[in-house]
């Protein structure tokens, strides 16, 4: 069971059992942070996808809520309730998500509504937008809504059949009446091809942070179903063409680790002035037999705050993570062995430090950092360099292994 599995990330607010992937519908309403996520409640495998739901008032202590959205026999989401967002339609929270009727090539934008508690949802039977009438587009999914110059727009991630990724643009005349305007940006050449090489752009997010427009993209390789990495494009968003145009001028990585994908951003508001982000970390390096034995797969990162400085998008764990510090375990020892009963801890390094997983006579250097912070929770390791670079990786402790920290560092135990 996950509660006894030393690899289970106990502080990250996921259900004890089942599969989770992309964060969805992240929002802040009436003093409560809501994070929804892709969920198979019955097995640690991708399938039978629902929307799970967790809430928090402090971004670190999470309460699991009842499942929000369900696949329904006979509806346009019968084969899965895939990724999307939540926006306020007046005072009505409305979920916009990809409904899968039979296959991933048969998708529609579906809607569901709730009251401001966001605990009970009414899912509509039919979608508001289907596949665009362009025969060369093969895959479309993951709606995201934003406002520009007082008008509401939406985008979806997509890919042409020739392997070129594309972002599709819609004007939202009302929250349920969308007009397809055509491509916002394609990835066949130039800056977009340099920074975001893929065959499908998934989970697009278009938002403004510190005065800069940013288009966040999760890169999918159609040939081998590889979830590659997450990048961003910077550029200018302006009115033009059929509606808007986005001209990429630069780019970078959101997280340079191998185990980070499909993040979702909550843009700053008067009520929550920070730009927040959660990402999904998967179990691709864990043996399948161990996944099935544990009964769980997938975890969301700690909430991260985004900022744009010195020409780059950078992230850091939200300040509330500091409140998890439970005890000082080491202050300057050159080598410190983390007690086996300590599942979550942080490493604060002013100089060079290493995190090593030791099991019998074998050692694996999990992380090496020169000035920065390492957050460990079970198998999830989130690394933040002093300059703002983030890196997410996985390493799986067992009943016979232990973590060692090497370098003159501060090590704190973390607990709820």
CA dist 167 and 226 (Å) reads: 19
- With pLDDT > 70 as the criterion, what percentage of the chain qualifies? 98
- Residues 360-383 pLDDT 10s: 889 999 999 999 999 999 999 999
C-alpha Rg value of the chain to the nearest Å: 21
**Do 293 and 379 reside in the same domain of the chain?**
no
Please check whether residues 65 and 95 belong to one and the same domain: yes
pLDDT reading at 158 higher than 90 = yes
Average pLDDT over residues 175-195: 95
Mark whether 332 and 184 lie in a shared domain: no
Are 377 and 355 in contact by the 8 Å Cβ rule? The answer is: no
Phi and psi of 212, rounded to 5°?
Answer: -115, 130
- What mean pLDDT is predicted for residues 33-55? 97
CATH of the domain at 57: 2.115.10.20
Residues 178 and 123 in one domain: yes
Q: Percentages helix, strand, coil for the chain, rounded to the nearest 5?
A: 5, 60, 35
Which carries the bigger pLDDT value, residue 131 or residue 9?
9
How much is the pLDDT for 134?
87
Rounded CA separation 54/331 (Å): 35
Question: Which residue, 297, 317, 337, sits at the end of a domain?
Answer: 317
Confidence class of residue 270 from pLDDT cuts 50, 70 and 90?
very high
Same domain, 120 and 95: yes
**Residue 100: pLDDT over 90:** yes
The rounded Cα 160 to chain-centroid distance in angstroms is 24
Per-residue pLDDT at 224 exceeds 80: no
pLDDT score of 93 more than 50: yes
Structural domain that includes position 395: 323-414
**Same domain assignment for residues 266 and 339:** no
Does 1 have pLDDT greater than 60?
Answer: no
Mark whether 307 and 408 lie in a shared domain: no
- Domain CATH number, residue 385: 2.60.120.560
pLDDT tens, residue by residue, 315-366: 999 999 999 999 999 998 899 999 989 999 999 999 999 999 999 889 999 9
Say if residue 255's pLDDT is above 70.
yes
Confidence of residue 308 (pLDDT cuts 50, 70, 90): very high
The tally of domains found in the chain comes to: 2
Burial class (CB in 10 A: 0-12, 13-18, 19+), 173: exposed
What's the pLDDT score for residue 86?
A: 97
State how far the Cα of 156 lies from the Cα of 165, in Å rounded to an integer: 11
Of the three residues 288, 317, 346, the one that is the final residue of a domain is: 317
Do 331 and 256 lie in one domain? The reply is no
- Same domain membership, residue 363 and residue 285: no
Average pLDDT, the chain: 95
pLDDT confidence of residue 106: 75
Q: Quick one: 224 and 358 in the same domain?
A: no
On whether both 273 and 131 belong to a single domain, the answer is yes
pLDDT of residue 208: 97
């Amino acid at each position: 069971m996950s509660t006894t599995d030393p690899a289970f990330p106990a502080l990250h607010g996921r259900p004890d059992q089942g599969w989770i992937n992309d964060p969805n519908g992240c929002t802040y309403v009436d003093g409560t942070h809501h994070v929804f996520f892709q969920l198979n409640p019955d097995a640690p495998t991708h399938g039978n996808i629902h929307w799970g739901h967790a809430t928090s008032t402090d971004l670190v202590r999470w309460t699991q809520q009842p499942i929000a959205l369900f696949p329904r026999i006979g509806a346009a989401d019968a084969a899965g309730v895939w990724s999307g967002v939540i926006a306020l339609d007046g005072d009505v929270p409305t979920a916009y998500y990809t409904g899968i009727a039979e296959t991933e090539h048969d998708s529609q934008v579906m809607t569901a509504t709730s009251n401001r508690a966001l605990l009970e949802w009414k899912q509509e039977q039919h979608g508001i937008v289907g596949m665009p009438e362009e025969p060369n587009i093969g895959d479309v999914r993951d709606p995201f809504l934003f406002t520009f110059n007082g008008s509401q727009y939406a985008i979806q991630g997509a890919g042409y059949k020739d392997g070129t990724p594309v972002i599709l643009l819609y004007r939202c005349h009302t929250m349920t009446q969308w007009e397809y305007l055509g491509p916002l940006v394609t990835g066949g050449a130039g800056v977009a091809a340099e920074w975001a090489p893929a065959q499908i752009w998934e989970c697009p997010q278009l938002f403004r942070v510190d005065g800069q427009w940013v288009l966040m993209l999760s890169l999918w390789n159609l040939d081998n179903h590889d979830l590659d990495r997450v990048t961003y494009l910077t550029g200018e968003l302006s009115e033009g063409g059929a509606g808007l145009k986005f001209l990429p001028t630069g780019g970078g990585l959101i997280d340079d680790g191998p185990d980070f994908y499909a993040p979702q951003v909550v843009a700053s508001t008067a009520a929550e002035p920070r730009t927040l982000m959660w990402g999904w970390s998967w179990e691709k390096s864990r043996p399948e037999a161990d996944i099935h034995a544990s009964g769980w797969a997938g975890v969301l990162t700690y909430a991260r705050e985004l900022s744009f400085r010195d020409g780059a998008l950078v992230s850091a764990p939200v300040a509330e993570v500091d409140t998890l510090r439970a005890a000082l375990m080491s202050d300057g020892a050159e080598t410190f062995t983390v007690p086996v009963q300590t599942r979550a801890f942080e490493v604060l390094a002013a100089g060079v430090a290493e995190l090593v997983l030791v099991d019998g006579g074998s050692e694996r250097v999990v992380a090496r950092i020169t000035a920065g912070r390492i957050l460990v929770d079970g198998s999830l390791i989130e690394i933040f360099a002093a300059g703002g670079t983030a890196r997410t990786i996985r390493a799986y402790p067992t009943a016979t292994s232990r973590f060692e920290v090497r370098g003159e560092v501060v090590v704190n135990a973390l607990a709820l």
